[in-house]
Structure 1
């Protein structure tokens, strides 16, 4: 089982869109895929049409110290895909996770060790440097970092790099940064030499690469979000004739999988 964590401590960078569409492509390719929403905003949960009330969520799996739930019992099988839903109660994660010799950082990893029947897990994270993010990084095999193709998109990468280095040093030495994924890319606006240099320098410092695939913007993405689905799923279902965003996420997933071989 391979576990991908989608992370960037800067908000509005396209983490949820990347996580949900990556999960959709993997599932369409025939891989048994589980999406985990670790963001209290519950955007991936909403996209997958999952429930947050009167049902088991990620909160019950990793934050209920008295009666932690087996992760297999928290999986919702929706029309969009399989998901462990987020919960607004995750906003209290920092205070709930106890300082018990660092064991609080391994709660998601421990939970995933009980997961059965899946080829891939995709984790959507919140734009924050906290114990919940560290839980996700410790549980993951690889990190995908969505980033906008401009100087401002690089802001916050230094903090993320430090967090990843701490996790690699202390808790998960096998954690790998799969690469920086350029999102919200506008094809007509060619990358300037300066911007290309900044992105390559950022990738070099993180000891990774910039993915060849760039995710272009399209109106189909907004339409899919409004309909609580993924643009990839609409594309595969022939509900939209053409979508540069869906095509790009399919190419990105194939590039990601090639890098794993």
Structure 2
């Protein structure tokens, strides 16, 4: 039989006793970690964020069991959770999150294992491994290149502002002006996200010093920030490569190739539209 699918509106947030019961069972005594596993934990308490799976987007809160203590105790607790049907027919997603650290290369690894329980009764599993390196500048040369890049961006900003005041609205009608704005925007965005990541790194380091590493430190926000920084740097490289093509306009062959593309632009656009329609219909 089909069960209800997960959504933010029908998510269970109540506090339960062991076995998903509302009444306290006095005959059986369980550890505090098992009792806590049947109590809803908010995203602020667990320091987790919304996660997008293959079949749904899940809120950061939930019912959490933390792997802590001796191996024998964890095996006993897992057996007890299995007997108490901690994962039952109403479960829609099970997350296993852990953080690994390789001191030889100073690399952190955020691991997320997800099992999604479909309304039809199937189970779909996914795994995500996110390596994170908070040490941005590994050499003096890298730091010097970054400083030069910042000065170049400031120089380009001044030039583009002068052109904007000179050309006014005509400035936005030029193709290379849009490319230049893309480079400047992605560069400034990367700088802002970098400082955001630096702040998140300090928060994680401070939390690690306070707890001496005895609690689970969630790197989900750090992974999201690192992904945003990677996307911005990728777009910046993309716009820079297009801008680099402009330097070849003095080459006769490249100039001839550009004029050819300009001459047959309408035919290429119409062909691209037809090709996209056929290609997308083939994929669907």
TM > 0.5: no
The answer to which structure has the higher helix fraction is 2
* TM-score category (smaller protein): under 0.3
Structure label with greater radius of gyration: 2
Larger relative CO (CA 8 A, sep 6+): 1 or 2? 1
